[in-house]
Structure 1
């Protein structure tokens, strides 16, 4: 390839891009369906050498921004957890999708997806099951596999968790985690100690999660095993406030619920500061993390012209969330959820405290000790025992609870309590009720949780899709990936111009220097130089270095450095080349400045 390549480039955004991308991903080692030798299995994908590297780079970029830069901890919890964890979290009872099964071919489909794909309804997931059944009947929707009508078929809830057993014999039931969050929540009593019991603090985790999707589809966008990057940020709801000033000027595209509910509703362009001030985003903490996330998404290669934040409608919010916004990327005309930003309140910690008996609180120290009145009971057990038998301890607990919430109930001669649906009158003198003054230094509070939860696989697909380009170089068609240097699987390709021992030796020295600088490098001496450029363009390698005869013959040792997008080439000295390319990768130097 000459040093005078000329590229005319346009982004490819038509509906065929996904098909072309999936084909490229398989051919070039980004991702492909798992267990192909056995016919493949739906919803499971293997990331090849390029894909694993890209995915790892995206994870590292997320870790740098949301763990390191924010000063948060990171943990790595097991992917299998015992059943009581998910009883407490609500996943056993409330983690369902709408299942409809064809009576003819027995194909299972997600009923809300059928509605969204074949009607004008865009958010069928938020609708109740009876309404979804009515829509299926009204539009006479059919099985996507065999075409049989589904008008009279019942839609049922299907729990998405994978069940397993822990241990042999009479083993304990367990589940593969459907989100990484629970691994953080159940360890809160210990994690708060690592944070020195000081709020606010955050805990991050990057790891696998599992959901037994009814109908996995669109390659790695909807799978049964996937990677999440989650941050659980614990705050004092009465005192802790985010640094909104640092993100106030971040410009965002928002699609709030109020606009979605209008017939002519539309996205709004605003800033994080204005959105909070005008009440579009009600939670300052959610707003803060939206402001952090937007520039981060741009830095890893998401096209900001195809990116927005959409607020959940009331019917689609998870059981734990009081408010939630999704980061969404547009792919082939469809908006794909990339992350959720939820205000979970104290739901998770309170539920785990209730079910485990452990303490999921943080002690909040007062600036000065306070004197407070405490209502207590010290019941006469010689009276309660004969009167209530085995239920005497239940009576004590009811009295303690009543004293804490309504001391006026003890002002008469008797006090009434409810026990197993029956009301019992007890003499107040037998309860040992008293009100005493006590000096306290603080109180135990249940922190609230703010959760930014990122889907890594979907983000990888979106980055690839938004980076896909087709152009012509010197009259030849070219496909390349316009990947950001920070996340590209390989940063530099190094080629000897020809199969020549001297050129190859010099090229290998360049490879060693670049790798010593921490750059990801590939060496390629197969085929003509133009084909080698094309191979690296197609996998998104930002730069190629060619060692030619000028390199070994001239007094100053120089090489040709070629930039992927423009195909521009520059002659640079080998001395200092590694440092120069490292500066470009870090964003401290531009290629056209050389």
Structure 2
């Protein structure tokens, strides 16, 4: 008997939801294509996310777009070049490479936060290659960034971005200035990213190229009050905290007051994440937030919650990560680039301070550092008191990877009137993986009824919204059906027309791809201008006047109106006749 995963995979191939990419050449693991139906459904998921996270926050959250190919310096600053790695191990006999920690986990060996040296101790105890039985070597770190060159020069190294986030951090200064120096705002981005996964074996759940929806929300760390919190503070979060064994339902205000969730903005966006997931049809018992243990936190995070949903084959899987990134990214990029990414906050009353400042001889710097001189001077001007102190103690200042000796600079004490303070904004980040959500939604929606597949997608997410079916292709029924197709399309509904095969087969085809409603034009239509409207999930039908179709369908699709409220029900005999046909 086929598993649910196998049935969904077969359905996806047959009905144009998704399939192996480059299939005619055998394909490569970790890459999928979305077909005509799947691409539209995926687009509807993205549109819903934009509505909840971006469009519902006018003048606060802004959509941006940055390149997929990113210069190496960006990922050096972010830590990806050094930290974005997984442990791998190679078989000395057949040459196969495995992710070391996953291989041990599959063999029932539970490990936590071991380095490559400690992992090797397990392999020395007799763990062999599962393919050929050969000896496994010393684990080593494999960087998951896809590396490339920018232009014809080998020295111009770039990477396919592993997250959309870094593009938003590097554009922060421009966005801050463009938004008239707003100190609280968010940048959102939706786009492709790449991760060179070692052995992607979970279908759409683990891809080497996938789509992210990310929001970087910037705020003052000394004024983290969220003016929108009142809208959600009585909402409940489903949380599985570190060291807890069961999910707890915690009110937002309690989660904040007890510091379970460390930040008001983090809690606010977590509520939006729950609303988003529920709008995709997931019942509360099928999702929760899992707190990432402190020892497993990403290098940039102060607290992370993973949004987990349940799927049939793999159990709980992560579809989103919520991280409080602090000022890690902006301060790291500021340090490496030499560009001051702090924002200015005016003081109510200026303060007079004495402080140490570096001075410099432009000609001397130019003779030593050539074209980097302008960048170095800009960085020197932006140094705060702590950075000057650190430079004096260490004897050097680092700008764009170059160490400038303090001895090449002068030091003077100056008196300055401080009219404000500069600080690095803190960042809260909700990050969603569209492809995982897409598959999890299919898994949650897949049902079988009387031996037929019914994909119970949320009505507004499904594509198309409605099918128009003439009972037969003659007697003028097809002409009326075509007119209805045009009318509904002009009204903004997504419509398909199908006159091929029996009416029962056509219903089945629409049910399989999740089309919420179908309209049948029959001979009674010619008599009284009424059609039947059929509900995908219940198979119930009502008769409805053609003049009422647009309004009724919009209520059904976008307001989740019950089918029986929209028209006169068929008699039992009529329903049976249509089903038989």
Report TM bin, short chain: 0.7 to 0.9
Aligned match for 1:460, one of 438, 456, 479: 438
Change (3 A) 1:377 1:291: closer
The equivalent position to 1:486 in structure 2, one of 456, 460, 469, is 460
- The aligned residue for residue 339 of structure 1 is 320
Report whether the alignment pairs 1:322 with 2:302: yes
1:271-286 matched pairs, under 5 angstroms: 271-286=251-266
Q: How far, CA to CA, are the matches of 1:245 and 1:418 in structure 2?
A: 48
- Distance change (3 Å), C-alpha of 1:127 and 1:311: farther
Q: How does 1:496-575 map to 2 (within 5 A)?
A: 496-500=470-474, 502-552=476-526, 554=527, 556-575=528-547
Is contact 1:126-1:314 (8 Å) kept? no
- Unaligned stretches of 5+ residues in structure 1: 1-13, 260-264, 410-415
Please give the secondary structure, in 2, of the residue aligned with 1:309: strand
Show the 5 A alignment for 1:374-523.
374-376=354-356, 404-405=385-386, 419=395, 433-434=412-413, 436=415, 438-472=416-450, 477-500=451-474, 502-523=476-497
Partner of 2:401: none
How far did 1:317 drift? 1.6
CA distance in 1, matches of 2:337, 2:28: 37
Aligned length: 543
1:295 to 252, 255, 275: 275
SS of 1:298 mapped into structure 2: helix
Q: CA deviation at 1:168?
A: 2.0
- How much does 1:319 deviate? 1.0
TM-score (norm 1): 0.85
What is the CA-CA distance between 1:147 and the residue it aligns to? 4.5
Whole-angstrom CA distance in 2 between matches of 1:36 and 1:432: 66
Alpha-carbon distance in structure 2 between the residues aligned to 1:593 and 1:498: 27
- Residue matched to 1:6: none
What is the aligned counterpart of 2:84 among 55, 78, 95? Answer: 95
1:251 and 2:236 equivalent?
yes
- Indicate if the aligned counterparts of 1:162 and 1:175 stay in contact, CA closer than 8 A: yes
Following TM superposition, where does structure 1 have runs of at least 4 consecutive aligned residues deviating by more than 6 angstroms? 378-381, 396-403, 406-409
SS in 1 for 2:183: coil
Partner Cα separation in structure 2 for residue 167 and residue 403 of structure 1: 37
Name the CA distance, whole Å, in 2 between partners of 1:320 and 1:358.
20
After superposition, the Cα gap between the structure-2 partners of 1:507 and 1:33, relative to the gap in structure 1 and judged at 3 Å, is same
28, 32, 45: which one aligns with 2:19: 32
Alignment pair present for 1:307 and 2:291:
no
Distance in 1, Cα, partners of 2:23 & 2:225: 51
Q: Structure 1 270/38 Cα, relative in aligned 2: closer, same or farther at 3 Å?
A: same
Contact 1:141 1:149 in 2 (8 A): no
Q: TM-score, normalised by structure 2?
A: 0.87
The answer (yes or no) to whether the contact 2:533–2:542 under 8 Å persists in 1 is yes
> Which of 17, 27, 39 is the equivalent residue of 2:4?
17
Query: d(CA) in 2 for partners of 1:402 and 1:488?
Result: 54
Q: Structure 2 CA distance, aligned partners of 1:467 and 1:25?
A: 13
Deviations 1:72-112 (A, max 9, x none): 11111110011111111111111001112222222222122
Unaligned runs of 5+ in 2: 398-404, 567-581
Alpha-carbon separation, structure 2, partners of 1:88 and 1:373: 32
Helix, strand or coil for the counterpart of 1:279? coil
1:357 equivalent in structure 2: 338
Q: Distance in 1 between matches of 2:113 and 2:389?
A: 45
CA drift at 1:378: 7.5
Output the CA distance in 2 between the equivalents of 1:181 and 1:125: 28
Q: CA RMSD in A?
A: 3.1
Cα deviation for residue 305 of structure 1 reads: 1.7
Counterpart secondary structure, 2:294:
coil
